[in-house]
Structure 1
C-alpha cells in the first residue's frame, strides 16, 4: 500500500529520493549503517542449474501438455523443485510462504480430464501462486503473514479461488506479503511478515520486492510459477509488478469479488493478476471475474467483464489514441525519467498522441482523506472477517493484544501504530468517515473523469514507481517520489503496469490508468507497447544477499 509512503515522505523532494533509490544498500543487520558492496556492481548470485521452465508463458506450458512433453503433474513438480532451490535455499527469496500439499493430486485429476478429452480452457493444468491473504478451503493457512493468524485454515475457498479452480488452474501455494498487506505500521518494510520473514527482489537481492504483494511479484519474476495473484488497496499489485519486471493489473473495484480475502478497504480493495506477459495477465483476469452474491460491489459487473480479454490484444491498439502523461514525471535527471522519455517516443511511433496533464498535484491536495477512509474500513472489515473464522483472534483488538504479548517475534523491527489507529475509529456511520470517503473517492473520480474527458484521453500514463529501494528493516520503506498508484486506487479505476526497461539492473514500469471498466482497452494499449519494445528481462538474482 503506497499511500502510506506518501504520508510518511510527503515533505521530501522526489528528485533526492530517486537518487537515494539507486544508492548503496545498508545491511539490515548492521546498525552502524556501514554500506555493503554495491549491489548493482555485484554479479549474479550462485544459482541452481538452468530451470527448464524459465520465463515460460501459459501458452508455452499448454503446448508442452498438448504435445505430451509434460503433464500438469510434471509442471507442478518442476515448479516445486524451483521453489525448493531458490526460495528457502540458495538466494532464499522467501517469496513462497507455503506450498500446497494437495497440488500434485489436483494436477493428477486435471491430467486425467485432459486424457479423457476435457480441457477446461487456457489455464487447464497451469500452476498458480496466490497471496497469503486469500482464503483456500484446503490444508493451507490464510494468515496475511501475521503470527496472530498462524494455524488459521479457511472454511471455504475465496470466490476468485473457486473461479480459478473451475478454470482448471492448480493452486500451487501461497506467497509471502507485507504483513497485513502493509497496513500495520508507517515504518513497515515491504515484503516482511512475522510468519514469512523478508521477501527479496530477484533482480538485486538486497532491494525491496515492494508491497504488499511482494511474494507474488518476486515469485512470478523468478519463475516459481506460471502466473500469480496479488491484491491491492493502493499500489500493492502495480508497485511489486513494476519493481519485479512484471505486467500487473489492478482491475476496476467490483470486477473481481473480494469474498474470502482478508480486507483493508471495502471501497478500494481488489485482487489482480501478476504475470510476465500482457497475454498471460489477460488470461488470468478472465478466469477470475464473476458476480458474487456475497460481494455486493460485483453486482452488474458481468455487463463489463469480458470472457476473453485476449481479444483486445492488438499490436495496432495505440494507433490514433490520445494519452495523457503525468507532467511531474517528465522533469529531473533520474534513470526512471529517462526511461519514460524513451517510452513516449515508442508510443508516438506506434501512432499515439501524447498530451501533458497534471493529476498527481490535485490528488495530493486531497490530503490524508484516503488514509482516514482506510483506517475506518480496515477495522470494520477485519472484525467482520475474523468473526467468521476459526482463528484464535476474533477482533482487531485481539490482534493488537496478541502482537503486544508476543512482541519479540511479532514486532522485532517495527510496531503496529496503524492497527492501533484503526482500532480507535468509531465506525462507518461516523460523519468524519463519510466526509473522508466523499473527499477521497469522490474527489479523485472527479479529477480523473475531468482530465480524461477534457483532453479526450484513452488513458493516463506515468512512471509506476522508481527503481526498487534498499531493504531497510531499521527505517522502513522510502519512496522514490514517483509512485503513481494512488489516483486509480482512490477512484477504484483500473491501472495496468508493463515493463519499461531497467535502471542499473532494476526494473521500472510504465503505468496506464483508464476509466472504470476499461481493462480491455488498457490491456490492448499495454500489449501494443510490450510487443513494440519487449523490455522484460529475466532476473539474475544479483548479490549481495540480505539475511
Structure 2
C-alpha cells in the first residue's frame, strides 16, 4: 500500500510487536502495524555520523565557530534519517520530514549573521510527534489514516514557541496511533500511517510509546532533541526504553492547544533528549501561558523561563529522596538491580535516602483513571476535530470509528479499536460518574498520594525505576503479551505532577531508566537532582542497532 494524500506520500507500514500491558495509558498506549518487519539476522553496520550524541551546546558551538550552519546541520540530520530510518536499520521512527526545513534553516542563518542567535535553540533541528499540529506542508495525523490530509488552522502553541526560539522543525515522528488509546491489544509504536517503530538498541524490541518515534529518533541521533506527549507514561516509558532523558512536566506548564488530545486532565507535551541539559533547554522554550488553554494560567508565574540554573552537578548533596517500593519494585529483577545501584550512587553523592517511602494509594485509582480518560477523550477529540474545520476528513470520534471499520486492511490488521468504541458510548462531562472519578483520581494521587508521603518524610523528591527493559515486538499478542515493570507514570500523570527519567543502566544491552518525581511545579528541583545523577553516572551510550538483545552473555 502506498497511497498519496495531497501530494504527501504515506510511509509504507512496517510492523513489529510489543508486550507491555495497556493499563490504559500506563507507560504506553498501545497500537499495531500493517506489514510484518523482518529483522536481519546480522547486526547492521553502525553508520558513521559526526553529529552522533551531539548536544544542543555542541551544535551551537559548531555554528558559532563556522564549522556548521543551521542548513548544514539540517542537511546532515536529514541524511541520517535517510540512512538509518529509511534504509539500514529502518527504524521507521520519522513519519514525515519537513519540505521547508532547509528554507527555514537558511533564514535562521541569515538572521544569525545579521543580528546573532535568538538563544540556545537557534538553528537546532528538532523532531516533533505527529499528534502536534503544524500549519505548514506537513500533515498532523496522530498516525491515523483517518486524518490524512487534515490541515490544522495554525501551529500548536508549543510549536509557535519552538519556532520563536529559532528551532528548525525537521519533521514529524511516528507514534502509537491515537497516542495508544485505541486497543488493549496494540503494539506500541505502530500506526496505520507509519507502521511499526523499532528500538535502535535491539531491532526486535519495542521502543514503547506512545511517543515511540520521538524516543527511537532521539536515541539514534536523528535530531538534536525530540518532542513527545504523555497522558500516562508516553514520554517517560519510551525514554526508558531508549536511554533518554524524558521530562513529563506539571500539567499546565506547557499548552496543549493544537495537540491531538486524549484527556485534558492528564495530557501534556514534553522533551525527550540525550542529556538533562538539552531537555531543560527545550522545556523552557516551550513553557508559557496560553489564553486558549486555561490550565496554563499559572505557567508564567510558577514555571521558569530558564532551567539552566538548576543544572547543579552537586545537586544530590543533602537532598532527601524517598524510595517508592510498593507496586513499583518486584516486577523486573533487571530493573530492580539497576534501581538499587542507582540509589547507592545517589547516596554516594550525598543524598539522604528514606527507604521505603511508599505511596499507600497506588493501584487504587486505575479504574477511575480509565473512566476519566474515556469521558474526556470523546469530548476533547470532538472539540479538536471541530477546530480543524469543515474540510477535515472526519468530524467526530464516531466518524473515526466508521473510517477504521471501512479501512480494516489498513487500520485494523492486527488489533481492534475497542477503546475508541467504549469512549464513544460515554456521556457528557456533566455525568456524575465522570465527576466522581475525577475527584477520586485527584484526591488519591495528590493529597493522599504524592503530597502525603513527601510531607510525612520531608522529602525533596521520590525515586523509583521507570520501567523494565524493552519487550519483544509482538503484533500477535500486542504489548499485553509480556508484562513489564509498571513504573510511577500513572500516579504522576493522574496527579498532573512532574516526572523525569534518566538513563540508569542496561540489561543485555537494553536500557533502563530511573525516575525522579514530586510535587506540582517542582521541575527546578527534579532537574537539579536528575542532572546531578546523570553527571555522576553518565550511563547514556548510543545504540548499536543490534538485531536482538545480548542474550548470549
TM-score w.r.t. length of structure 1: 0.92
Structure 1 unaligned regions, length at least 5: 10-27, 31-35
User: Post-superposition shift, 1:43?
Assistant: 6.3
What does residue 214 of structure 1 align with?
212
Kept in 2: contact 1:359–1:448 (CA 8 A): no
User: Which consecutive residues of structure 2, in runs of 5 or more, have no partner in the other structure?
Assistant: 1-17, 27-34
Task: Quote the residue 1:176 is aligned against.
Answer: 174
Paired residues of 2:332 and 2:484 also in contact (CA < 8 A): no
Distance in structure 2 (CA, Å) of the matches to 1:337 and 1:207: 20
In the alignment, the residues of structure 2 paired with residue 70 and residue 29 of structure 1 have an alpha-carbon distance, to the nearest angstrom, of: 39
Tell me the equivalent position of 2:429. Answer: 428
Which structure 2 residues correspond to residues 68-107 of structure 1 after superposition, within 5 A? Answer: 68-107=66-105
Listed one character per residue, the Cα deviations across residues 33-88 of structure 1 (whole Å, up to 9, x for unaligned) are: xxx99x9xx7642333x111000000000010000000000000000000011111
Instruction: Give the equivalent residue in structure 2 for 1:465.
Output: 467
Q: Secondary structure at the match of 2:117?
A: coil
2:124 to 115, 120, 126: 126
- Distance in 2 between the 1:521 and 1:270 partners? 19
Instruction: Classify the secondary structure of the residue corresponding to 1:66.
Output: helix
How much has 1:133 moved relative to structure 2?
A: 0.2
Distance in 1 separating the partners of 2:147 and 2:332: 45
CA RMSD of aligned residues (A): 2.0
Secondary structure of the corresponding residue to residue 496 of structure 1: strand
Which of 502, 507, 511 is equivalent to 1:507?
511
Tell me the distance in 2 between the aligned counterparts of 1:402 and 1:5. Answer: 23
Q: Distance in 2 between matches of 1:420 and 1:2?
A: 22
CA distance, structure 1, for counterparts of residue 97 and residue 262 of structure 2:
25
5 Å-filtered alignment, 1:251-330, equals 251-328=249-326, 329-330=328-329
The CA distance in 2 between the partners of 1:330 and 1:456, in whole Å, is 22
How many equivalent residue pairs?
A: 518
Match in the other structure for 2:446: 445
Q: Aligned equivalents of 1:137 and 1:450: distance in 2?
A: 44
Where does residue 531 of structure 1 map in the other structure?
535
1:336 aligns with 2:340: no
More moved, 67-76 vs 366-375: 366-375
Query: 1:489-508 alignment to 2 at 5 Å?
Result: 489-508=493-512
Match in the other structure for 1:136: 134
Structure 2 SS opposite 1:461:
strand
Q: Distance in 2 between matches of 1:297 and 1:504?
A: 42
* Match runs of 1:362-373 below 5 Å: 362-373=361-372
Contact 2:19–2:474, Cα closer than 8 Å, also in 1: no
* Residues 479-530 of structure 1: per-residue CA shift (max 9 Å, x gap): 3133221110010000000000101000000000110001111000000000
Alignment CA distance shift 1:438-1:3 (3 Å): farther
1:4 CA drift (Å)? 6.1
Give the 3-state SS of the residue equivalent to 1:73 in structure 2.
Answer: helix
How big is the shift at 1:387? 1.0
Q: Give per-residue Cα distances to partners, 1:418-461, cap 9 Å, x unaligned.
A: 00000000110000000010111222112111001001111110
TM-score (normalised: structure 2): 0.91
CA distance in 1, matches of 2:155, 2:461: 35
